[in-house]
Structure 1
Amino acid sequence: MMPYGFAGGAYGSGMMLFGWLISLLVIIALGLSIAALWKYLTKK
């Protein structure tokens, strides 16, 4: 049986990495949408 701290730490770090990747993707998507909107507005 694994120690609880080790299992919890591994699970926590995995979830933290997952959340970090999701936030990074959200930031990239926001940046791209803002850039596209800015180009569209300045083109008019």
Structure 2
Amino acid sequence: MTTDCLALMGHMSWLGWLMPLAVLTLLGLGIAALLKYLFTSTKPSTGARS
């Protein structure tokens, strides 16, 4: 399976290597943003809001 995948990526030249890296990068950034959103606590502000 890995050999077939690498052969296909090599056959597609640079685009075959760029697309998986771009997808993994975007996926990692999305997971990092989700974790940051879930684990950062919003503290209630004290005082009056205008």
Place the TM-score, normalised by the shorter chain, in its bin.
Answer: 0.5 to 0.7
1:37 aligns with 37
Render the CA deviation track for 1:5-32: whole Å, top value 9, x for unaligned. xxxx3xx142111000000100000010
User: Where does structure 1 lack aligned partners over 5 or more consecutive residues?
Assistant: 1-8
Q: TM-score, normalization: structure 2?
A: 0.54
Q: Greater share of helix residues, 1 or 2?
A: 1
Q: Percent of counterpart pairs with the same letter?
A: 9
- Number of residues of Structure 1 aligned to a counterpart in Structure 2: 32
Q: TM-score, normalization: structure 1?
A: 0.60
Structure showing greater relative contact order (alpha-carbon pairs closer than 8 Å, 6 or more residues apart):
2
Q: What is the aligned-residue RMSD (CA, Å)?
A: 1.3
Specify the structure having the higher radius of gyration (Cα): 2
